[in-house]
Structures are given as structure tokens and as C-alpha cells.
Amino acid sequence: MSRAACFLGADLSVIRLFAPSGDQVWRRPEPAPDEAEDALWWRRQAGAGAQWVQEHLGGATLDAVCLDVAGASCVWMSAPSADPAVIAAAMRQPDSSWDELGVVGTVQPLTEPAAPAATASIPFLSRKVEDLTPARLAVVATPDGMARLWFDALARRGVEAGPACTLWPAIQRAWGGADPTPDELPAVVVHDGARLVWTFGRGPNLVAAGSAGLLRKHAPRPEGDGPAPAPSPPPEPWDFASACGRLTLDWLTWVAQIGAPPRTVLAVGPENERLAQALQRAWPDAQTRAIHEADPVAGATGALIAERPGASSSSDSDPRRTLVALSRRRGRSHRWLYTWLGATMALLAVAIGAYALRQRDLAADFRAERANLTLETKKAVREVAPDLAERPDRVMALRAELVRIRQGRPEFAEPVPAKPILEEFIRLAGVIAEMGAVGVQPEEFVLFERMPSARVRVPDYATGDDLRARLNAAPGAIRWKVDLVGPLGAEGFRYQLQGEWTEAPR
């Protein structure tokens, strides 16, 4: 699927849609005097801009949104903590040095994103570990009220928007390089209409940023009387020298804080050569390189969705590359998630209610069974000990009475289990009968509970050994010892079988 990106002007004055079909522009009408303070009018304009984007996407996905930096500020400040909420609160204090900036919208520090947790946790059960270490860092404040209304209007129309950033990270991504850890700190200066927009950064990561206004040079007017000037003279060239002078004063302040001056300066714009010359004169220690770009805003916004080798993917969690709060705000997918979560919780509540009713019924059944068992116990105890039947501890009292009676009588011993004489006789007779074919003949069987024995005649020694092996191999409760008694002449040999009872059948 094709990809698209949007550029939002300040207060949604202009929306530029960069889609495969081309660059298209929507302009917001200027408010009437009675509409300038009407919040509903501004909301309707955000809805109109969202509807225009939806109609002109043409099947493409809106993968990136770039906000203009008009009204935005990037400052270096000291804060009690690096936490974004603490920094925003410090900048909005009425008596702070930043009060004159009129900070509105999103405030976020240009720091590395927080590392993800090693283990999963439940957000409302886990306590947030706060870093209370004082910090000095660069902070960006961006007015994004109209952008938020526009995002909400898009979400209501079913259009999912990708990560949002300001023009500063977009410029850094387009011309700052792909390596986030270079040794030097290059500067990128973009000529966009009547302003210069600049960034310091390492690869796609923004370090500092700002802007400077541009004026045109004015030719001296002739003194005295003379012919009237031409009705439509050509515009005077931009005064890059004055703007670069103000810009470098800003750079000196940032270099004092960062501790690293830019060694390379990129001049980007339609008049890149003149801009590069002015920058070279204003910042002579750096190597200046001119890059021609007829429409720098289009180039920076298009770089957000361009597939470039080695370029890092768009991030919605790195404040150096994106507006984190705006990129990760809840959209249609979150609403669907909360809807299903609410429905699931409702079903779970119904299930818990049904389970509670079932448990209540079971408790009532148990109480009825306990009452019935109490009556039966009283009845049984009354038959043997009427005086104990009404006592609450009747069972314990009955047990104590039973112990007392047993102590006055001798203990009954369980009789010793009888030996399985019949089973062993059948086993012995079975083995002798099996070996009758080879000449084994019984003479005497004596089986009782003490010392079982037997005598047999066998034709030879081998048969005697075979008899011994078979008796001990057959499972039973008697272990047989087969010994030779003596020869019987022509009738063979007599063997004595002496048995020993085991504790359990083998």
C-alpha cells in the first residue's frame, strides 16, 4: 500500500498532503472578528481539514505528520528532574524565567527514551520510580492544540495517522544523516520563505533547534524630485547576512551549553549558494555545504516516509525524533480496545454475580445440612449417653468418655493373619506335577505355620537343580531350600525341601 505524509501549518492555517498522486494543499479560511475566539469554529475547521485529507488520501496510509514550528521554542533550562511532567510544570510557573515565552501545548525534553521494563507490570498497580536528580537539558515547547483537534477528527473518520513530529526533527532526519553517534555535531540551516530554520543533531536525533526571521534588502530611494518608481518592481533579495548574524548569536549560546560547536553547516533551500556564503562569513570555522532544495518543507516531510538505506524507522517514543504525547495519544484502536475491555469486564461481572449466587445457594445448602447433621448427632448421642446429647461439645465429650472406657479395659489385639498354607500347597504340588514327566516323585509334604518341608525323589542331579530353580522362580509366600539327602540306587536320589515363610508373597 502506498504511503502519504501531511504537513500542518501553524493553527492549521494550511495542510499539505504528500501522496503518490502529488502534493495537494488545503487552506483554512481566516476567521471573522467574532469567530476568532469561538472554540466551535476552530473545531469545525479541524474537522474540515480532516475531511479533506480523508477525501484526498486515495487509498494511501497516512504514515507521518509534520507540524510547523511557528510559535514553537527550543530552550536550555535547569529543572528539578528530567521527568517531562516536572519540566512542563517548571516552564509554566508564572514567576519562572520562561513565563515570557507563553508556553502552550506539548513540552518535552530532548533526551533518550526511557528503557522498556524488563518484566511486564500492571500500570495501575506498579509504582513509578521517579528520578529526582536535577538536570540541565534542551526542551522543546510546541503549540499543538489545533493538531490535536485534527487528529481527533481523523480518528472519528476512521483514518489512522502515524507518528507526529515538528519540522525540526523532520529536517534533521532529511539532511542530518543516518548515524546517530557521529563524533561531530553538524548544523542544518533551511531557508523556508521568510525564515531560516536550523537544527543541531547527531544523525536523526535532534539536539537543539531554532529559527530566525528573514527580511528583504531595500534599495535606497532617490532623493529629490524625479519620475515615479515602477508600479511593480521585482522583489529585493533576502538579507541572509543579517539573519545569519542573529542566528550565530543564538548558536554561541547553545554551544556554551552543549560544549560542541558545529564543524559542518548544511545550507538547504532554493537560494542555497547565497545562504551558504552568508553562513560561511558568519561562522567561518565550519565547513559549509550548499544543498539545493526548491521546497524544503516538502523535502523534510517527504523524508519521513521515504525508504532510504541505513535510515532508522519512525519512532513514537523517542522525544528527539517525534512528539511523543501526540504520536501515542489514544485513537480509534484504543477506543475499540476500551470498548471490548469494558464489555469483557461487564461479562466478567455477570459471571462473578452468577458465581456469587451459586455460592449463596451452596452456603444455604451447607447450613441446612449442618442443622440436619446436628439433629442426627444429638439423636445418636442420646441413645448411648443421654446426659451428653444437649451439650454443645457433645462430640468431644463422647470421645473423652470413649477414651475413659478404653483405659479401663484391656486393648484388643488384632489376630495374626493366617498363613496361606493351601495356596502354597497348590503351588508346590503344581511344580512337582509339572516335573513328574521327568521322574520327580513326591514322598512327603508337611506344610504348617512354622517350618514347612517336603521330600521328593529325582532321577539325577540335573533334575534336582531344575526343581530348585522352578520352586524359587514361582511366586509364593515360602522360600524353598532344596538339598540332596542321598542316593536311592536305581530309584535315583532323595532331596529334602526345607521352606521358610516370608512376610509377603513374592
Determine the Cα–Cα distance for residues 170 and 164; give it in Å rounded to an integer. Answer: 10
* Contact by Cβ (8 Å): 273, 193: no
Determine the Cα–Cα distance for residues 365 and 207; give it in Å rounded to an integer. Answer: 72
For the 421-501 domain, the top CATH level (class) is alpha beta
pLDDT at 28: 93
Sign of CA dihedral 461, 462, 467, 470: positive
Return the C-alpha cell found at 453. 518341608
pLDDT at 122: 47
Return the C-alpha cell found at 144. 499543538
pLDDT at 289: 94
Residue extents of the structural domains in the chain: 73-112+132-139, 336-407, 421-501
Considering the entire predicted model, what is its pTM?
Answer: 0.64
125-150, pLDDT tens digit by residue? Answer: 445 555 567 778 899 989 988 999 99
408-436, pLDDT tens digit by residue? Answer: 776 666 777 888 888 888 888 888 888 88
Return the C-alpha cell found at 439. 521322574
pLDDT at 348: 95
| Residue 349 Cα to chain centre, angstroms | 26
Beta bridge partners, 359, equal: none
Low-confidence ranges of the chain (pLDDT < 50): 117-126, 224-226, 228
Distance (Å) of CA 436 to CA 454, 458, 462, 463, 466: 15, 9, 14, 11, 12
Q: Which helix (H) or strand (E) holds 268?
A: strand 264-269
Residues with Cβ within 8 Å of residue 193, at least 6 apart in sequence: 214
Q: Which helix (H) or strand (E) holds 299?
A: helix 296-303
Query: What is the DSSP code string of 163-208?
Result: -EEEHHHHHHHHHS-S-SS-SS--EEEEE-SSEEEEEEEETTEEEE
